[in-house]
A and B are shown apart, each in its own frame.
Chain A
Amino acid sequence: MPQTPMPPMSMFRTAVHPGLWEHKGKVAAVGVGHEGTARRWDGTAENCIGAWSIAACRKAIADAGVNPADVDGIVLDTSTTTGAHWPAGREIPMDVVQKFNQTDDPLDGIAQLSGEWMVKNMPELTNVKYIMTGPGCMSACIVVAAQAIGDGLAHTCLVLKSWHNLDGRYYQGGANAEPTISGNAKWTNPWAGPASLGTATQFQRYMYKYGKSHDMMAPFMQNSRHNGLMFPEGYWAQHRPEELPAEDYINARWVAKPANLFDNDIPIMASAAYLFTTAERARDMKQKPVYILNHARDNLVARGFGGFPTLEECEEACANVGVRLHEGAGIKPDDLSFENMYDGFSLFHVFHLEGLRTHGIGLGDALDAFQGDISISSPFPISPSGGNIGSGRTRFWKHTDCIQQIQGRAGARQISVPANIGVSGGPMPTGGNFTVWGSSPD
């Protein structure tokens, strides 16, 4: 795949007390564009991940009401996999590939996405000078784009994250099928299992430490799906408009107890793009600007296995993020009107929420909070986006929701309290990226 540059680590705010963000209120999100969703790729050119990425970008541009020729930056995640990689030996559908302007890698636009491919296939983007990777997640794309605009590297920037999912059976092949194991996996494979096991051990420790139960997650899961069903761009709203009653959640089979099937989000295909610009330019655009007040990250390195940070390490990382977010945005924890922290695996949400130390929710309190009113009409709505639980594994619903809530465009999901300041981000407590959004630049 053609190289899309990686951002320098200096773009991420990881200092313990980073101070007020130097670009607070000077960068704004204006346009939003979504394309999809589907459970898996149907093999057609019009539904390949490249086509959906183009469509999402065009919608974001139109939504903001900017001239495509004014777009001078694009930040995207070049990886689009939900876990499904193009199987070795599987024929690449050249009829699909040839419908687009190709790069040197035929999988570009089908199972991955380079900046070069995007620019080549959106001829209306005649002035793109800044192309950068937001590694792994929309959360990272947002930080890189916001910092780039603040730093003057671009003034009108597309922020793009897409996910492909392939058809076919889930073969459990490769190293997992072998009798021996080499490399880093030798430390875990002989014992371990699915990806959610690490989070399961953290949550088990959490229940032990604070005297809680997995059943206490049910109201949060129910609320998340309910909110997701009001997200017309989402998977469940589009394809399976079903609520998730507590008993359905609690009866689901375990994958890695205490993480069940619904705690593991559903992999889907989807694409989302935002249009970011300077606060100054945003004033003349079609939608109300949503100001970026700060971004933050914690790089805590787990002492033990990469996949197994301890609960205490998660709690420390989340608390660090919380302090950094508030300080850098110049707000108090209770200034948050709502929160859209990460939720896939759903159990993460507990750690992220408690890290914010907002609205009286401290360590060990999140599950109790879930037993009260956390809906969009509550004084402090929890995950009004519904997150990955409510709309499928994309890690971007929470960001779209922050933008739309503050713009007053969240439709049926619009929260009752004034949406002044929101927070979103993820995925992991360690190494995730988080953003504070505001209705006012101050």
Chain B
Amino acid sequence: MPKQSPVPDALDKPYFDALNEDRLVIQNWTCCQRLQHPPAATCGGCGSNQLQHMSWKQVSGNGTIYSYGVVYDSPIAVLQADQPYNVALIELEEDPGVKMLSHLPGRAVDDVPIGAKVKVIFETTPATGQKVPEWQVVS
């Protein structure tokens, strides 16, 4: 489903670069052994901004559907043509506290099994070619 292309900045460039190589990496704060998404300039656990505590950890790309909604009235122009569409919250296998959004490509509208296993895929966004993570239900 066509979506806006996210524009990387200095902080999150490693995340977006990895996506373009079909790898999912998550910001990892070693001070607290804490995965964090979206990435931020400080550790959400202890507030550290020491870069030696920050790394990027490649994850399996396995996840579970936590919940979802179905969007009928989006303010985002590029998504309107595909309304209604699913938006699911995916929790990562490595840390269910880390959530990512997904349109669940291939899944019928409002047919979303909460608790089902999903696997990451990498979708190219039209404007810049930047890839973003998407998730598909594992049958």
Contacts and interface: CB of A to CB of B under 8 A. Distances in A.
Interface of A: 172, 176-182, 184, 186-194, 197, 200-202, 204-205, 208, 253-259, 301, 303-305, 308, 310-311
B132 interface: yes
B6 A186 contact: yes
Contact of B3 (A172, A191, A303, A305): A191
Given A194-B74, A305-B38, A208 B67 contact: yes
Nearest to B134: A191
In terms of DSSP, what is the predominant structure of the interface of chain B? loop
B5 A253 contact: no
Contacts of A177: 77
A305 B99 CA distance: 8
Given A177-B77, A178-B4, A193-B76, 11 more contacts: A176-B77, A179-B78, A189-B76, A190-B6, A192-B71, A204-B67, A205-B67, A208-B114, A255-B72, A303-B44, A310-B89
Contacts of A197: 69, 71, 87
B9 interface: yes
A205 B114 CA distance: 8
29 contacts: A172-B76, A178-B4, A179-B5, A181-B7, A184-B38, A186-B7, A187-B38, A190-B101, A191-B87, A191-B102, A192-B71, A192-B74, A193-B75, A193-B79, A194-B71, A197-B87, A200-B69, A201-B87, A202-B67, A204-B67, A204-B69, A256-B70, A256-B71, A258-B69, A259-B69, A303-B44, A303-B98, A308-B89, A310-B89
B101 A192 contact: yes
B103 to A, nearest CB: 6
A425 to B, nearest CB: 25
B134 to A, nearest CB: 9
Contacts of B125: 190
Contacts of B87: 191-193, 197, 201, 256
Interface in B29-76: 37-38, 44, 66-76
Given A208-B67, A303-B44, A190 B4 contact: yes
A66 to B, nearest CB: 45
A86 B49 CA distance: 37
Contacts of B5: 179-181, 190
Nearest to A198: B69
Contacts, number: 129
A6 to B, nearest CB: 21
B110 interface: yes
Interface of B: 3-7, 9, 37-38, 44, 66-79, 84, 87, 89, 97-99, 101-103, 110, 114, 125-128, 132
B4 A189 contact: yes
Contacts of A310: 66-67, 89, 99
- 9 nearest interchain CB pairs? A193-B74, A200-B69, A179-B127, A186-B6, A193-B71, A304-B99, A190-B3, A205-B67, A257-B70
Listed residue (A178, A190, A204, A256) with the most chain B CB atoms within 10 angstroms of its CB: A190
A257 B110 CA distance: 9
Nearest to A264: B73
B130 to A, nearest CB: 8
Contacts of B79: 193
Contacts of A305: 38, 99, 101
Nearest to A259: B69
Contacts of A205: 66-67, 114
Listed residue (B76, B77, B97, B99) with the most chain A CB atoms within 10 angstroms of its CB: B76
B99 A308 contact: yes
Contacts of B3: 189-191
A294 to B, nearest CB: 30
A176 B78 CA distance: 8
Given A201-B68, A204-B69, A182 B9 contact: yes
Contacts of A190: 3-6, 101, 125, 132
Given A191-B101, A193-B79, A197-B69, A254 B84 contact: yes
Listed residue (B3, B7, B69) with the most chain A CB atoms within 10 angstroms of its CB: B69
Contacts of B114: 204-205, 208
Contacts of A311: 67
A303 B100 CA distance: 11
Contacts of B98: 303-304
Nearest to A303: B97
B46 to A, nearest CB: 13
A172 B7 CA distance: 21
Nearest to A186: B6
Contacts of B68: 201, 204
Contacts of A204: 67-69, 114
Given A180-B5, A182-B7, A191 B72 contact: no
A181 B77 contact: no
